[in-house]
Amino acid sequence: MQLSKDNLQHFVNNMPEKIDVLELFDKLLLMAKIEHSTLQENANYYHHTGEIEKEIDLWG
């Protein structure tokens, strides 16, 4: 999973002076997941519900 330098830089510029390390890791992981999801959505990687239902019907 990757996180763009721009998003990371924005986060660092706006974070408090002190931050809990575990909280930092959680936020970075969440940001990376959101960025990954957005990239998939923009690439039309997601299927519409109707397409998924048709595919599931083919299984059974």
pLDDT of 48 above 70: no
Pairwise CA distance, residues 18 & 21, whole Å? 9
* pLDDT at residue 5, rounded to an integer: 93
- pLDDT recorded at residue 53: 75
Backbone torsions φ then ψ of 52, nearest 5 degrees: -65, -45
DSSP conformation letters of the chain? ----HHHHHHHHHHS-SS--HHHHHHHHHHHHHHHHHHHHHHTT-S--HHHHHHHHHHH-
For residue 47, name the pLDDT band (cuts at 50, 70, 90).
Answer: low
Q: What is the pTM of this model?
A: 0.62
Residue 60 has pLDDT above 70, yes or no: no
- Taking only the tens place, the pLDDT of each residue in 15-46 is 999 999 999 999 999 999 888 888 777 777 66
